[in-house]
Amino acid sequence: MSYHFVHDQTITDKVLTQEDIQDTEFEHCTFKDCDFTQCFFRNVTFVDCNFIQCNFKETKINHTSLRGVWFTGCNLTSVNFAMTDQVIYEFHFKDCLLDYSQFYKLKLKNIQFIHCSMIAVDFMASDLSGALFDSCNLRRAVFSETNLEKADFYTSYDFIIDPEKNKVKKAIFHENGLRGLLEKYQLVVKN
């Protein structure tokens, strides 16, 4: 088995298969309008890469390293990020569909989610300290035993976060988001 290195490439409008990416390190690459749904990621590394309008719906990304990666306008529905390489990793999302994705037990300090749909996303036992949730739909997202210290939810909406089951010290919320923090008490909050 040989390992491949791909550097400074732009890959556009391609349906990728497992054979195209397995045992490969991509560095400073841009993937645009690519379809990864036929891939089973194994032994793949992405360093300082951008994915623009790519389809990852239900893709298996086990044993994958994501370092300095941005996903923009991508469909990442039902992707389990919990199985990615957790030694050195950093990734962010903008204008993405992340519904039903899983980030269970990941250390995601300072991660950015910008204008994303994140319906029923699993953040159980994750470290999201300093995370930015900018204008994100968090309906039915699961926050339990999650570190949300200094996380910014100011412009996000439809979340329910139990302050007794999560660390929320110095997290930022708009007053309209207080309802999501008080949900378990069944209070009637009126404007």
Is residue 101 within 8 Å of residue 124, measured between CB atoms?
no
With a pLDDT cut of 70, the percent of the chain lying above it is 97
SS3 state at 133: strand
1 compared with 166, residue with greater pLDDT: 166
Is residue 51 within 8 Å of residue 72, measured between CB atoms?
yes
Which residues, in sequence order, are CB contacts of 50 under 8 Å at separation 6+? 29, 30, 31, 69, 70, 72
pLDDT of residue 181: 84
Query: What residues does 152 pair with on adjacent strands?
Result: 132, 172
SS3 state at 1: coil
Is residue 64 within 8 Å of residue 82, measured between CB atoms?
no
Residues 18-30 have a mean pLDDT of 94
Q: Each residue of 64-119: pLDDT tens digit?
A: 999 999 999 999 999 999 988 877 789 999 999 999 999 999 999 999 999 999 99
Closest CA to 112 of 96, 93, 127, 128: 93
pLDDT tier at 167, thresholds 50, 70, 90: very high
Mean pLDDT score of the chain, rounded to an integer? 93
Closest CA to 167 of 138, 146, 143: 146
* Position 1 pLDDT exceeds 70: no
| Separation CA 163–CA 172 (nearest Å) | 13
End-to-end Cα spacing for the chain? 63
* Position 172 pLDDT exceeds 60: yes
Within 13 Å, how many C-alpha atoms sit on residue 78's CB side? 5
pLDDT of residue 143: 98
Tokens standing for 57?
Answer: 């719906």
Tokens standing for 113?
Answer: 């989610």
pTM above 0.85, yes or no: yes
